[in-house]
Amino acid sequence: MNNYKKISVAEGARTELHDSLALTGAEVSINALPAGASVPFIHSHKQNEEIYAVLEGEGYAVIDGAKVDLKAGDWLRISPAAKRQFFASEKSAIKYICIQVKENSLEGYTMTDAVV
CA 101, 104, 108, 109 dihedral sign is: positive
For residue 71, give its domain range: 14-103
**Strand 84-88 relative to strand 27-33, pairing:** unpaired
Q: How would you write the pLDDT of the chain (116 residues) with one tens digit per residue?
A: 588 888 888 887 788 888 889 898 899 999 999 999 999 999 999 999 999 999 999 999 999 999 999 999 999 999 999 999 999 999 999 999 999 999 988 887 777 777 77
- Fill in the amino acid letter for 30: I
Report pLDDT for 1.
Answer: 58
**Is 41 a domain residue?**
yes
| Residue 114 identity (one-letter amino acid) | A
Residue 90 belongs to a domain: yes
- CA 40 distance to own-chain centroid: 16
The predicted structure's pLDDT at residue 20: 86
What per-residue confidence (pLDDT) applies to 102? Answer: 93
CB 51 within 8 A of CB 76: yes
pTM over 0.85: yes
Whether residue 116 is contained in a domain is answered as: no
Q: What is the CATH number of the domain that holds 32?
A: 2.60.120.10
Residue 113 domain flag: no
When divided into structural domains, the chain yields a total of 1
Is residue 101 within a helix (H) or strand (E), and if so which, with residue range?
strand 94-102
Is 18 part of any domain? yes
Q: Does 9 map to a domain?
A: no
In eight-state DSSP terms, residue 2 is: -
User: Which residues, including other chains, have CB under 8 Å from residue 100's CB and lie 6 or more apart?
Assistant: 26, 27, 28, 45, 48, 49, 50, 51
